[in-house]
A and B are shown apart, each in its own frame.
Chain A
Amino acid sequence: MKKDIILCGVGGQGILSIATVIGEAATKTGLKLKQAEVHGMSQRGGDVQSNLRLSTEEIFSDLIPKGKADIIISMEPMECLRYLPYLSPEGIVVTSSKPFVNIPDYPEESALLDELKSLPHLEMRSLENNMTLLGMAAKHIGIISAEELRDAIARVFSAKGDEIVERNQKAFDEGFNN
């Protein structure tokens, strides 16, 4: 069993934190994992993505081949469109519908949302919290349970104190339960 996930958004939106939580949960459950990240210049307000591959078998490539991703998890509605050629026709896009506009030629919002709604499999909500997005995506990740992801949040944020852990778990639940 395997799950190939593309995480995307704009530098500073917390994409790598989502990757860290999934990575922590996957390691704990004994899954094999590869996770390619974007560091450096792009993190300054540019488009960022992470290729996250989970499997019960050995994983070779750090990058997901075209047409093989099972899920695109996106903090930003336009950014998920960038990676559609990587999404399998059976794959799902889980995205926030809230545009992050920091470029002059950002597409017209209604046309963008219409295009998203025309995708074969879509789950979209207006949200700003990255852990809420992870909660939404948890239903589709499958290879790791929501409970395992919730526990991983506690471990990843434990150094920042109980209050931060609770706030992030609450955000996760909000995404998962609604």
Chain B
Amino acid sequence: MNKKLLLGDEAIAIGAINAGLSGVYAYPGTPSTEITEFIQKKAPEIRSRWCTNEKTAMEAALGMSYAGKRALVCMKHVGMNVCADAFVNSAITGVNGGLVVLAADDPSMHSSQNEQDSRFYGKFALLPIFEPSGQQECYDMIGEAFALSEELKVPVLFRVVTRLAHSRAAVEIREKKEQNAFNPSSGKGWVLLPGIARKQYCALLDKQEAMLDAAEKSEHNKLEYSSKADAQGIIACGIAYNYVKENNPDANILKVSQYPLPESKVIELASRSESILVVEDGQPVVEQDVKAILGSDYPVEGRLTGKLPRTGELTPDSVAEALGIELSEGLQQGKNLAPRPPQLCPGCGHRDVYKALKEVAAEYPGSRIFGDIGCYTLGALPPFQSLNSTVDMGASITMAKGAADAGLFPAIAVIGDSTFTHSGMTGLLDAVNDNSNITVIISDNLTTGMTGGQDSAGTNKFEAICIGLGVDPEHVKVVVPVPANMEAITKTIREEIEYKGVSVIIPRRECMQTLKRKKK
């Protein structure tokens, strides 16, 4: 037996490799990044270069599936928003080679701006969803997801949460399957003209019964009855199963790891119980469904009724409370304790950018700085406190544009190099076409820093991209953000603020983390 100590993410990666994967398509995002990194390290024969964003990743994976090969798309939960157009429509086209879309949700927002639940996307697109409870299931179920995808000819959504993605346990590794043969589809269903799309949509609806049947039969959706159990039945989804078992190994449980929700098993559990508690990490997706299945007279509790906290990830303690189990008493909380938020690394170029920006912004009382997603979002915290907004990938440029349209001056956008190519370029084109009076700072550290230093899609191309999009070459300026250049940098920022139109300043210096790694 071949056992390995693996993160949930790594178990997914090996599981996919051993399922005959031909390509992984992804943009880095915590907590999903390690899947693609692992495949890059361990399986060079698999196509694995980072993509520009989740939408390009999703579409390229669909293309590989079209050609008959197995493809995996990986992203953090908010990446689902970026690729939603391609994802939802891939359900309509269907697939040829197996296609698995992996979404790593981040309840409690450890490294995210919201805690949306990707299962809603799966339901919305009418697709099967897999939600493993542990590392072994991560490995086992990824192969099953590819098989189901090819059997039903639909993409499968694979959902994990931070605590599973970033937790290690021993995983038994099984045999490796060969990659699919090259076998491009000759089907007509890929051309989603209305006439064809209507037929394809009906075909997708026709597959719903088979999806439900697969979930009803799945060995990962199991009912556990105990002679010692009480009158309350528990539906435990994904990782929530572990927290229930930790607290009460003898509970009557329906473990759910594959959707659509196995209705007949829900009804069976309800018939043996007097009430149901739904324990799920994320948003109350299943709780709503169970209420709909069992009707308003049957008592169902969960996050919606306040039995479990409405926000944040589940913990063994919050589940214990919901089960009416008394918590163990630990020591008193320490007194000499201060919060220690993350911060920009010592010597980081973003620090010099914010120092210069802060100085210049103080000269313009009406100024606002629109931020973006990355390490430099930490510029919102002390000592800089420079950012007035951070919303989603690319929003710095477009929000600055909209605010400038409304009369705000100076409207400044701060965006990182990788975020700019991910979702900033199109917004910059809007601003150029409208001759918006904005100053865009592309803080270029030559990498995707926040997630640990993955290749950045636009490295060495930023001046050309900006000029190509129509920014006046006179107003595309590159500076080197080091303390010795502070005077030159602040001068450049002042000049470009005063220029009435789109200007781009590119402070460029390598990330301290990648630099340190190279020196080792």
Q: Kindly state whether residue A1 has any CB partner on chain B within 8 Å.
A: no
A38 cross-chain contacts in B, Cβ below 8 A? 110, 166
A23 cross-chain contacts in B, Cβ below 8 A? 5, 168
Contact-size category for B: 35 or more
Interface string of B390-412 (1 = CB under 8 A from A): 00000000000000000000000
Q: Kindly state whether residue B125 has any CB partner on chain A within 8 Å.
A: no
Select which of A35, A81, A108 is within 8 A of B167 by beta carbon.
A35
**Smallest distance from the beta carbon of A40 to chain B beta carbons, Å?**
4
B345 cross-chain contacts in A, Cβ below 8 A? 44-45
Looking across the interface, which residue of chain B has its beta carbon closest to that of A19?
B168
Q: Judging by beta carbons under 8 Å apart, are B331 and A112 in contact?
A: no
Select which of A33, A66, A112 is within 8 A of B327 by beta carbon.
A66
Looking across the interface, which residue of chain B has its beta carbon closest to that of A120?
B331
Cα A37 to Cα B3 with chains together (Å):
20
Interface string of B300-342 (1 = CB under 8 A from A): 0000000000000001110010000001111111111111111
Looking across the interface, which residue of chain B has its beta carbon closest to that of A10?
B340
Q: Judging by beta carbons under 8 Å apart, are B167 and A115 in contact?
A: no
Contact-size category for A: 35 or more
Q: Which of A56-64, A123-131, A135-143, A166-174 contacts B (4 or more CB under 8 A)?
A: A56-64
B341 cross-chain contacts in A, Cβ below 8 A? 46, 103
Cα A104 to Cα B382 with chains together (Å):
10
**Smallest distance from the beta carbon of B473 to chain A beta carbons, Å?**
35
Q: Judging by beta carbons under 8 Å apart, are B340 and A103 in contact?
A: yes
Q: Judging by beta carbons under 8 Å apart, are B110 and A42 in contact?
A: yes
Q: Judging by beta carbons under 8 Å apart, are B320 and A45 in contact?
A: no
Q: Kindly state whether residue B480 has any CB partner on chain A within 8 Å.
A: no
**Residues of chain B in range 77-111 having any CB-CB distance to chain A below 8 Å:** 110-111
Q: Kindly state whether residue B451 has any CB partner on chain A within 8 Å.
A: yes
**Smallest distance from the beta carbon of B227 to chain A beta carbons, Å?**
20
Cα A32 to Cα B245 with chains together (Å):
16
Cα A86 to Cα B315 with chains together (Å):
12
**Residues of chain B in range 144-200 having any CB-CB distance to chain A below 8 Å:** 163-164, 166-170
Cα A115 to Cα B333 with chains together (Å):
11
Interface string of A123-167 (1 = CB under 8 A from B): 000000000000000000000000000000000000000000000
Cα A15 to Cα B389 with chains together (Å):
33
Q: Kindly state whether residue B34 has any CB partner on chain A within 8 Å.
A: yes
Cα A10 to Cα B341 with chains together (Å):
10
B342 cross-chain contacts in A, Cβ below 8 A? 11, 41-46
Q: Judging by beta carbons under 8 Å apart, are B328 and A81 in contact?
A: no
Q: Judging by beta carbons under 8 Å apart, are B167 and A34 in contact?
A: yes
Q: Judging by beta carbons under 8 Å apart, are A45 and B331 in contact?
A: no
**Residues of chain A in range 57-94 having any CB-CB distance to chain B below 8 Å:** 59-69, 78-82, 84-89, 91
Whether A37 touches B7, Cβ cut-off 8 Å, given contacts A45-B343, A63-B315, is yes
B164 cross-chain contacts in A, Cβ below 8 A? 62
Q: Which 10 A-B pairs have the closest CB atoms?
A: A81-B334, A67-B328, A46-B342, A40-B30, A107-B336, A67-B330, A40-B111, A61-B246, A84-B331, A62-B167
Q: Could you show 24 A-B contacts with beta carbons less than 8 Å apart?
A: A27-B3, A40-B451, A41-B30, A44-B342, A44-B375, A44-B378, A46-B342, A46-B343, A47-B340, A61-B245, A63-B163, A68-B328, A78-B334, A78-B337, A78-B338, A78-B340, A81-B334, A86-B330, A89-B331, A103-B338, A103-B340, A115-B336, A119-B331, A120-B331
Query: Which A residues lie at the B interface, using CB under 8 A?
Result: 10-11, 23-24, 27, 32-47, 59-69, 78-82, 84-89, 91, 102-108, 111-112, 115, 119-120
